[in-house]
């Protein structure tokens, strides 16, 4: 892809004043939901606790998922084609909780139809898709909230305040990780076969490449989130599925728009299943004043903090650990040169906080308030795009086997090999257009 034809970075798009929703404060928000899998129903649970949202419509290509959603909202109208739901003028907002490869198209089409959108993370499978989503939201004056719900948790907001206040000194290094052990079989090796009668496989694939049905590519399981996440056609592995939550907090706490260089290594070394994405990965993100790493392995769960995921902010005066259950500060005891940290146990003791159990509830409250006020939500589409892009660039560096020098404002790179992974062609007849 010629750099001159590469889309200008979404961050450079000027925000346009957003008109108020007619009578927004005087009526319930009528919500349509596209995608009723496990995460879709998680969101629905939060929504149904509210008295200012009416869930009025569902669209889902897999009947068992739809049946479970209808148990929660029996009178919801069912659209077999999501495009008809989007075209329904009585619907004010749309929740998009489909597999990742659908997020961009559905969000763009929904805002073009005048809908506000809550879209799950990661918002896209390529950087180009995310840029188009930001441009669409700004062009059509719509509110778009991204499902990086940790931003709405007081727990993580407190951590961001601590970092910005300089409590642990100057940050030089940040470590993020996800560890588990799925050996030896992983998700297994089911054969390609005919799709079940209760699934519209062609619509599930949508803009992704045409493939025969495979139980792992579809991936719906009774005891875990769907396995489509481990195939490049539909997602980006743990880097975009879980890593984005951790990297999003790094950007939130440091007020950075994104990294300036990315390198990555890893591969599928041990697991013998049919997934595409690596079982081991290390990505390094360079920023002007610090370096950040993301580590993932699914073949060994050992962690020095006995936590299978987390973030460590390493500062000159101390280290801050955070996950969804707690945050803790460990003061520097002594430097190599013998200088003790100015932080004392008495002045700033290690602190165990408690993450909010209702961050998703808070995130929906923020979305509703954004619809009412027409002010950007806490995880506005540009914020969600930057966090998604950071994770995607980790995969770009891995797959291209190149160091990616990146302009986080213009969102461009001179690296030709990396550019081939920034955009992908949609399968006919789907087109991502403004």
CA pair distance 282, 428, nearest whole angstrom: 35
Reading the block at residue 368, the tokens are 């509703």
- Asked if 266 and 278 count as a contact pair (C-beta separation under 8 A), the reply is yes
CA pair distance 342, 266, nearest whole angstrom: 39
Give the number of other CB atoms < 10 A from CB of residue 341. 18
Q: Is 35 within a domain?
A: yes
pLDDT on residue 356: 46
pLDDT on residue 346: 29
Asked if residue 349 has pLDDT above 60, the reply is: no
> Each residue of 249-286: pLDDT tens digit?
999 999 999 999 999 999 999 999 999 999 999 999 99
Q: Is 111 within a domain?
A: yes
**Which candidate, 91, 96, 107, 105, places its Cα nearest to that of 57?**
91
Give the number of other CB atoms < 10 A from CB of residue 88. 16
- Asked if 235 and 192 count as a contact pair (C-beta separation under 8 A), the reply is no
Ranking 130-139, 348-357, 380-389 by mean pLDDT, the lowest is 348-357
Q: Is 184 within a domain?
A: no
DSSP E strand stretches across 341-397: none
First to last CA, the chain: 20
* Percent of the chain residues past pLDDT 90, beyond the cut: 84
Q: Is 22 within a domain?
A: yes
Q: Is 86 within a domain?
A: yes
pLDDT on residue 208: 98
CA pair distance 420, 75, nearest whole angstrom: 46
pLDDT on residue 185: 92
The bridge status of strand 29-34 relative to strand 53-59 is parallel
Asked if residue 171 has pLDDT above 50, the reply is: yes
Q: How many domains does the chain have?
A: 1
Give residue 16's pLDDT band: very low, low, confident or very high (50, 70, 90).
Answer: very low
How far lies 326's CA from each of 136, 154, 245, 321, in Å? Answer: 37, 11, 15, 8
Strand partners, 215: none
Average pLDDT over residues 313-340: 84
CATH number, domain with residue 373? 3.40.50.720
Average pLDDT over residues 359-374: 96
Backbone phi and psi for residue 34, each to the nearest 5 degrees, phi listed first: -115, 115
- Asked if 249 and 313 count as a contact pair (C-beta separation under 8 A), the reply is no
Phi-psi region at 144: left, alpha or beta (left = phi > 0; alpha = psi -120 to 50) = beta
* Percent of the chain residues past pLDDT 70, beyond the cut: 88
Q: Is 269 within a domain?
A: no
Q: Which domain holds residue 115?
A: 3-151+360-380
Give residue 10's pLDDT band: very low, low, confident or very high (50, 70, 90).
Answer: very low
3-state secondary structure at position 261: strand
pLDDT on residue 339: 54
3-state secondary structure at position 157: helix
Q: Is 15 within a domain?
A: yes
Q: Is 314 within a domain?
A: no
Give residue 305's pLDDT band: very low, low, confident or very high (50, 70, 90).
Answer: confident
pTM, two decimal places: 0.91
């Amino acid at each position: 892809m010629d750099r001159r034809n590469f889309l200008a970075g979404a961050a450079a798009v000027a925000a346009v004043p957003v008109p108020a929703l007619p009578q927004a404060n005087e009526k319930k928000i009528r919500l349509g939901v596209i995608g009723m899998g496990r995460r879709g129903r998680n969101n629905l649970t939060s929504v149904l606790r509210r008295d200012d949202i009416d869930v009025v419509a569902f669209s889902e290509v897999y009947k068992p998922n739809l049946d479970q959603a209808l148990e929660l909202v029996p009178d919801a109208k069912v659209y077999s084609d999501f495009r008809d739901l989007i075209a329904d003028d009585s619907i004010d907002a749309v929740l998009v909780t489909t597999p990742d490869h659908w997020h961009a198209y559905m969000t763009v089409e929904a805002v073009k139809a005048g809908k506000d959108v809550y879209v799950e993370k990661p918002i896209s499978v390529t950087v180009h898709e995310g840029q188009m989503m930001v441009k669409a939201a700004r062009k059509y004056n719509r509110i778009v909230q991204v499902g990086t719900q940790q931003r709405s948790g007081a727990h993580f907001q407190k951590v961001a305040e601590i970092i910005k206040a300089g409590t642990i000194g100057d940050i030089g290094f940040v470590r993020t990780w996800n560890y588990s052990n799925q050996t030896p079989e992983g998700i297994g090796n089911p054969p390609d076969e005919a799709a079940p009668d209760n699934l519209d496989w062609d619509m599930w694939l949508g803009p992704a490449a045409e493939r025969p049905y495979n139980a792992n590519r579809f991936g719906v399981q009774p005891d875990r989130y769907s396995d489509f996440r481990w195939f490049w056609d539909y997602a980006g592995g743990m880097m975009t599925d879980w890593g984005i939550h951790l990297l999003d907090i790094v950007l939130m706490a440091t007020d950075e728009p994104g990294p300036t260089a990315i390198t990555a290594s890893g591969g599928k070394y041990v697991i013998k299943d049919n997934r595409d994405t690596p079982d081991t990965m290390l990505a390094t993100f360079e920023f002007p004043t610090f370096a950040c790493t993301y580590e993932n392995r699914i073949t060994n769960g050992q962690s020095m903090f006995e936590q299978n995921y987390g973030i460590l902010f390493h500062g000159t005066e101390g280290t801050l650990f955070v996950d969804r259950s707690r945050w803790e500060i460990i003061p520097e005891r002594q430097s190599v040169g013998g200088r003790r940290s100015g932080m004392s146990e008495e002045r700033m003791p290690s602190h165990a906080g408690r993450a909010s159990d209702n961050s998703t509830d808070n995130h929906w409250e923020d979305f509703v308030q954004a619809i009412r006020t027409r002010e950007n939500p806490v995880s506005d589409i540009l914020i969600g795009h930057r966090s998604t892009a950071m994770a995607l660039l980790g995969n770009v560096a891995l797959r291209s086997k190149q160091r990616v020098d990146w302009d986080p404002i213009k969102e461009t790179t001179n690296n030709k090999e990396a550019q081939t992974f920034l955009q992908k062609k949609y399968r006919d007849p789907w087109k991502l257009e403004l």
